[in-house]
A and B are shown apart, each in its own frame.
Chain A
Amino acid sequence: MQQALAKGEISSVELTQATLESIKKSDLGLHAFLHVASEQALQTARQADADRAQKVDKPLLGLPIAIKDVLSVEGMPCTCGSKILEGYIPPFTGTAVKKLQEAGAIIIGKTNTDEFAMGSSTENSAYGRTNNPWDVTRVPGGSSGGSAAAVAAGLVPVALGTDTGGSVRQPAAFCGVTGLKTTYGRVSRYGLVAFGSSLDTIGAFGRNAKDVAAVFSVMAGHDPLDATSANAAVPEIKFDQRDLRGLKVGVPREYFIKGMQVEVEEKTRAAIEQLKALGAEIREVSLPHTEYAVPVYYIIAPAEASANLARYDGIRYGPRVDANTLWDVYFKTRGRKFGAEVERRIMIGTYALSAGYYDAFYGQAQKARTLLTRDFERAFMDVDMLACPTTPSTAFVAGAHENDPLAMYLEDVFTLPANLAGVPGISFPVGFDNDNLPIGMQLIGQQFREDLLLRAVDVYQQSTDWHTKTPASLDMENQ
């Protein structure tokens, strides 16, 4: 698409109009978008065409991109999928999005998410769920389900998501696209609405590793506006490899568990064989504390969320439920505007941090987190990256975990450890199950080695065509 733009085969305005048209047509059945910024997008597209006529060289000039609705873009609503931010319009643009704009990208709109990114299905959005383009009775995964579905359905070539416990990688797997979770601190979070501050990362979706890398390269880097942004060099990623000779890939035995879907294990093992055929050396490794990742995460993330979400009180932004006392304004606004999953997590976090329970819950989780991090450090002394399934099963039917939040938490069992250790991960399609639902495999790398992950996936994608498959509904539309 970038090439077609560069050659002048299509103008940015034409491409943007086509994008807006296809969203209007297809998004009724998907509900990937919460807000479509038609006017702003066309205005930016006109500027992009003018820039191109002036031979201005920008890496993403004219490229349409969708943004998960937890990232602030000046002048566009930012709901975080919550009623408590209904009508809120940020007065500023976050750094990651600003960098994309400066690189010439066109922000098409904001995509659906589980409320405050809490969930694994996008069903927790207060504005209705997003459907999976491969089977609309199923969820797209979450919490960045809107972005994953928008890319899978071909509505946009790339989209931003955020990953606190798997919220880029799991929907990428469920929707059959490539999704990168970046290293903690790699991409500035200035302008990202905070959920779990020691875990939150911004990532990207695309149809392949090269598209994801184009977005990643623009977003990454130090930002003085984010105190947790790392001052690490961002390497230029060269896609000049044809094989994986010299690469050592570890296969963690704890990531192949009883009860996982048979086809997921088969296709993951087959993809690992393919990495081997491409020259990678495969070694079995062990991450012995993996079984503690879910309990550690579901103490630490809710604890941080309970503190971060204390700011929603009906005073400075969002709707207010009127009452006679300040106490009742807080109590009623929060009680009526937060959804069930957000309330549950705020309560778990409040409990885990409360007097008398802090050491047993939060303190113990922080120590266990150290053990999980050491598992990765030890593994990375022997191998360059790890290969494992992204999820235990393919996309589930909407409503499957409706009254069982714990069952939903267990969906994240393979993705949470990377967030706890702050390392990057990437999910990419490696096949389909018997219901023709996509299966994703995950590569997990060392901190700040997104380049190795993206290059490895690119080599895999040169030799396979899983990433080129599109949902049947889409094929019909294109005929």
Chain B
Amino acid sequence: MSLTHQEVEHIAKLARLELTDEQKARYRGQLSAILDYVAKLQELDTADVPPTAGGSVLQMPLRKDEPRPSLSAEELLANAAQKQDNQFKIPPVFE
């Protein structure tokens, strides 16, 4: 299966990736080859097979939902590119 240029642009938009034209052209070929390869799965009859979502056979135990100490706002903001008044600073969401 071959992805079109428009499909590559659409996927990149969904994934929030700015790509150059050169990247789009290169990925188009590479992604098409990968999708061709994984299409091999279509030959399997899985009509009566349930899906596997996780990796473990064991029940994952739940913990009680209780308040616990956590990191301070200062520690959590320490890695932010921009901050102001103890909050993350971002460009406007709406014009």
Contact residues of A with B, CB < 8 Å? Answer: 87-89, 91-92, 183-185, 198-199, 222, 224, 227-232, 289, 291-292, 294-296, 298-299, 306, 310, 313-320, 323-326, 328-332, 334-336, 338, 340, 343-344, 346-348, 350-351, 354, 360-361, 363-371, 373, 405-406, 409, 419-420, 422, 447
Interface code B35-53, partner A: CB below 8 Å = 1, 0 otherwise? 1011111101010011111
Chain B residues, CB < 8 A from A325: 91-92
Identify B38's interface contact among A289, A310, A361, CB under 8 A: A361
Q: A184 to B56, alpha carbons, bound, how many Å?
A: 6
In the complex the two chains form, is B57's CB within 8 Å of A89's CB?
Answer: no
Chain A residues, CB < 8 A from B23: 340, 343
30 interchain pairs, CB-CB under 8 A: A184-B55, A185-B56, A198-B55, A227-B60, A230-B60, A231-B58, A295-B38, A296-B41, A319-B81, A325-B92, A326-B90, A329-B91, A331-B16, A334-B16, A343-B17, A344-B30, A346-B17, A347-B11, A351-B35, A361-B41, A364-B44, A364-B46, A365-B41, A366-B51, A367-B46, A368-B41, A405-B30, A406-B33, A406-B37, A422-B55
Count: A-B pairs, CB below 8 Å: 182
Q: A180 to B80, alpha carbons, bound, how many Å?
A: 36
Chain B residues, CB < 8 A from A183: 56
A405/B53 contact (C-beta < 8 A), A315-B80, A325-B92 known: no
Identify B44's interface contact among A199, A292, A373, A422, CB under 8 A: A292
Interface size on B, residues (CB 8 A): 53
Chain A residues, CB < 8 A from B81: 314-315, 318-320
A354/B14 contact (C-beta < 8 A), A314-B81, A365-B41, A405-B30 known: yes
Chain B residues, CB < 8 A from A89: 78-79
Identify B42's interface contact among A232, A354, A360, CB under 8 A: A360
In the complex the two chains form, is A326's CB within 8 Å of B91's CB?
Answer: yes
Apart from A360-B42, A371-B49: 20 A-B pairs, beta carbons within 8 A: A183-B56, A184-B55, A184-B56, A292-B40, A316-B76, A316-B88, A325-B92, A332-B18, A335-B17, A343-B17, A348-B34, A354-B11, A364-B44, A365-B38, A367-B46, A367-B50, A373-B52, A405-B30, A409-B37, A422-B54
| B interface secondary structure, majority | loop
Chain B residues, CB < 8 A from A368: 41, 44, 46, 49
